[in-house]
Amino acid sequence: MLELKNIYGGYGKITILNGVTFTIPKASITTVIGPNGAGKSTVFKAIFGLLNIHSGQILLDGQDVTRQTPRQMIGHGVTYVPQGRNVVPQLSVYHNLELGGITASDQTIVRKRIDMVMDQFPMLRKYSGKKAIELSGGQQKQLEVARALLLDPKLILIDEPSIGLSPNLVQEVFQTLLRLRDQGATILMVEQNAKAALAMSDYGLVLELGQTRMHDKATNLLADPKVGQLFLGGHIEAANAV
Ligand SMILES: Nc1ncnc2c1ncn2[C@@H]1O[C@H](COP(=O)(O)OP(=O)(O)OP(=O)(O)O)[C@@H](O)[C@H]1O
Ligand SMILES: [Mg+2]
């Protein structure tokens, strides 16, 4: 569904990605893990047309989409939820949702889909008239995820959805992602909360120094002692056991 072939790229002349290669199948969830600064967010920017790609190729359903603009990627059914807070604080929840469908030619469909995502996230209906800034951090993240769904994307790039969320809300976001996958969407996610994320994922990808280090079924990565020690807090558990 999505294929990256030996991607090199970065910001201006600085190279951050040093040969990223992986393929993910349709209707699957893949979690990207790796240390801070490994280039996880940069991979998403590369896919979404926000990076200077020096060489390599990105294929979406077999079509070459290397160096397309974000607008073109949206047109291909790709959506991107960046790391951090991305709602428009002074706009209402409803207007923030509308922004998710701003590129659609048929706004009637957008309004129908706003209704659908409000069914999925009832909190958004309850607070639809409130300014986004008045929501809690977790509620704002739900708003962002909901907004990303407005164009019925086939590929969802979601960077650290659980940051700042209570464990309950993390599970809610994960459940939403699972539901979307079951409906046929493909999801590529970065998560600090690596253990919980891999546990609900089909595949895992370990990125280090801008390179793919491992790519395997999530269950295999979870069972790998080396991955456990480096990325899943295994060393902390070992220390606690002493
Ligand atoms: N806009 C930018 N301009 C220049 N360098 C950048 C920019 N954004 C990120 N970098 C650099 O690229 C490298 C990879 O950053 P990236 O954000 O992809 O890491 P990450 O794996 O997502 O880390 P984290 O877990 O902290 O989110 C870092 O060295 C970072 O300093
Ligand atoms: Mg990041």
Ligand 1 atom having least distance to the Cα of 38: 21
Q: What is the mean pLDDT of residues 70-88?
A: 92
- Average pLDDT (183-196) is 93
| Distance from the alpha carbon of residue 48 to the mean position of ligand 1, in angstroms | 15
In whole angstroms, how far apart are CA 142 and each of 136, 162, 173? 10, 10, 7
Q: Which ligand is nearest to the CA of 211?
A: 1
For residue 230, CA distances in Å to 4, 37, 95, 220, 227 come to 25, 15, 42, 15, 5
Q: For residue 236, is pLDDT > 70?
A: no
Centre of ligand 1 to C-alpha 178, Å, is 28
What pLDDT score was predicted for residue 238?
Answer: 42
Residue 36 gets the label, from left (phi > 0), alpha (psi -120 to 50) or beta, of: beta
Is the Cβ–Cβ distance between 125 and 114 less than 8 Å?
no
- The closest alpha carbon to 154, from 192, 111, 183, 191, belongs to 183
Which range has highest mean pLDDT (55-64, 81-90, 111-120)?
A: 55-64
Alpha helices in 5-154 (DSSP H): 40-47, 70-75, 93-99, 107-120, 122-126, 137-148
* Beta carbon of 30 within 6 Å of any ligand 1 atom: no
Between CA 178 and CA 185 the distance in angstroms is 9
The reply to whether ligand 1 has any atom less than 6 angstroms from the CB of 11 is: yes
In whole angstroms, what is the distance from residue 206 CA to residue 215 CA? 6
Q: Is 176 left (phi over 0), alpha (psi -120 to 50) or beta?
A: alpha
Q: Which residues keep their CB under 5 angstroms from ion ligand 2?
A: 40-41, 83
Atom nearest to 42 CA in ligand 1? 18
pLDDT tens track for 126-173: 999 999 999 988 889 889 989 998 888 999 999 998 887 788 878 888
Distance CA 97, CA 110 (A): 9
Single pTM value for the model: 0.90
Between the CA of 36 and the centroid of ligand 2 the distance, in Å, is 7
Give the whole-angstrom CA distance, residue 4 versus residue 2. 7
Q: Phi and psi dihedrals of 48, rounded to 5? A: -85, 5
Which ligand lies nearest the alpha carbon of 192?
A: 1
Higher-pLDDT residue of 221, 163: 221
Weakest-pLDDT range from 5-14, 50-59, 223-232? 223-232
CB of residue 36 inside a 6 A radius of ligand 1: yes
